[in-house]
Amino acid sequence: MTADAFWKPFEVEINDFNGLVHVINQVMDKAVEKDISFAWRGQVDASWALHSSLYRRMNITRGKTLPEADIEKAEGGMTLIAADLAPENDMIELQVSDRMFEICCPERLYFESCAGKPEWNYFRLELKPIYPALDNDAFVYLEHSEELTEIAPGVYAPLNAWFENEYRGRPLSEEARRVTRLSRGSFVIFSSSSVYNRVPDTYDARHNTMSADEFRAYIQRSASMS
């Protein structure tokens, strides 16, 4: 998701100083009401993403401005906590943190075994394309993914509801979740202690550039050299 797309739901047009003060007061009223702390950070262009402490520290350590791909490698892949059926028909959900879930429509699941080297065994989950959740009239599949707030099982709202902890003036319930609905593509699932998982370069999603057969051959070659 781009910085522009992320901040779009929160955009407010301000035409004068009084308007600015009004919006700031609205934000701070909500902060007091919900006991939220805000850190105000100046930004010249809203399309520029805010940089995490990890990003700033790595820039200092490496002595240069790092591209996004290098940060992704440092952060690593997701840890799969649990899997279950999703509220939507024919969908499953993959839990990746306490209240964050990946929702997808599985097409096929492979288990690939490397004889004599179980540390290279893995699952590959391939996904079907799905339609956007908030557009009931959509006739074009979702291209990649969409981040949403699930306010009740199978009932979605824009992502900003999650950050505001409310939707249409009502607070979110304890069952609300932040979800990402995934369309197309694939996952590979390795043991967290596997050789593949410990190599930072593999977090570039290379499996999505290969067919199942091509990736299997790639892993077999890698296992034979380990």
Mean pLDDT (whole number) for 79-85: 87
Please give the Cα distance from 81 to 189 (Å, whole number). 12
Please give the Cα distance from 152 to 23 (Å, whole number). 30
Residue 2 has pLDDT above 50, yes or no: yes
pLDDT tens digits, 204-213: 788 888 999 9
From the number of C-beta atoms within 10 Å of its C-beta (0-12, 13-18, 19+), residue 146 rates as: buried
The tokens for 53 are: 């402490």
More confident: 44 or 149? 149
User: What integer best gives the mean pLDDT of the chain?
Assistant: 80
Confidence of residue 104 (pLDDT cuts 50, 70, 90): very high
Helix residue ranges, H only, 48-115: 53-62, 68-75
Confidence of residue 75 (pLDDT cuts 50, 70, 90): very low
% residues pLDDT > 90 (the chain): 31
- Give the chain's end-to-end CA distance (angstroms, integer): 36
What pTM, to 2 d.p., does this model score? 0.64
